Amino acid sequence: MFGKKKKKKAKGIGTIISAGTKVEGVIEVAESIRIDGELEGQLIVNGDIYVGKEGRLTANVQGDNIMIAGVIEGNVKAEGKLEIVETGKLIGDISISNLIIHDGATFQGNSTSKAEIDQKISESKKTLDKKGKEEVTDNKSKQSSNNNSNNGFKRLEEDKDKKND
């Protein structure tokens, strides 16, 4: 009773693709995964991804935190941290919040930070908002001008009617 501490559940690895295993296709996992085998296709993980030294992926990969000790050929999107250790190799474009590349690791591709993406989205929204306001202003001035034209037209009609009387 007294002195007992509640044990915290460790965020463990829920799925393992072991060495010697080859998987093809789309894999969607709701928890962390470790890959020591081969994967061709696409990997979408709602958790962390660990690619062991023997892991070989020819796939587009998406997850929270991603650590690469093996090889990934494909585009990678990490919501949190992407870490490529000494034995790791990544060939492809990345979208990340935080990037760590150890000495001896290989990365070949383009990188885009989450901050850059957020900034581009913000700029696009501002541009769209500005264009929307300009269109509204243009429409209002067109309506105003049309109303004035119509009023002038009505006056001409009224003047004709007066002359005919």
Residue boundaries of the structural domains of the chain: 13-109, 114-160
pLDDT surpasses 70 at 165: no
pLDDT digits (tens, 9 = 90+) for 135-144: 655 555 555 5
**Considering the chain, what is the average pLDDT of its residues?**
82
CB neighbours of residue 121 within 10 Å: 10
Q: Mean pLDDT over residues 44-53, rounded?
A: 96
- What is the 3-class SS of 116-147, one letter each residue? HHHHHHHHHHHHHHHHHHHHHHHHHHHHHHHH
Statement: the pTM of the whole predicted model exceeds 0.75: no
Q: Give strand pairing partners of 34.
A: 16, 50
List, for residues 88-147, the tens digit of each pLDDT value.
999 999 999 899 999 999 999 999 987 766 666 777 777 777 666 666 555 555 555 555
